[in-house]
Amino acid sequence: MNTPLVATLCATLALGACSSISNSRLNPFNWFGGSEETVTLLVEAPQDSRLLVSQVTDLTLERMPGGVIIRATGLPPTQGYWEAELVARPVDDGQITFDFRVFPPITAQISSTPQSREVTVATYLSNIKLDSIRQITVQGANNARTSRR
């Protein structure tokens, strides 16, 4: 009768400690918090005819069962950009970089408001891939956004 009581007490204390270590790297709720703007990396582009979006305005990582959804919003110079995708580069020293690629409009388009030009794209990374990753970067032509563990 004593063993279940002790086990329940230990489990309660362990779960309660998770919230008290709110700034710890051991707490999975702190992994990949907000993003920050970083410098664009100039690396030879892969064989993709799409252009890099002009500016990456937002980077959000949403935890899901079995992994994370990486969602980025970009701001091209005009309306009409299409077929956006986050193109992954190889993982390098715990860092993965995604190029935010889009096709330009076929005909000339107006600039209009920034909200009407926004392009949002997402991709999924499994927990298996995340085990070796500490930093996720999404880069555009003029800037990049980074989220770290």
Instruction: Provide the sign of the torsion angle of the four alpha carbons 37, 123, 73, 23, taken in this order.
Output: negative
pLDDT at 6: 76
pLDDT band at 13 (very low <50, low <70, confident <90, very high): low
79 shares a domain with 138: yes
pLDDT band at 31 (very low <50, low <70, confident <90, very high): low
Range of the domain at 13: 1-30
Mean pLDDT of 75-102: 95
pLDDT at 110: 87
Q: Per-residue pLDDT tens for 51-64? A: 999 999 999 999 99
pLDDT at 111: 87
Structural domain count, the chain? 2
| Contacts for 57-62: CB closer than 8 Å, 24+ residues apart | 57/118, 58/145, 59/35, 59/136, 59/138, 59/145, 59/146, 59/147, 60/35, 61/32, 61/35, 61/136, 61/147
61 shares a domain with 7: no
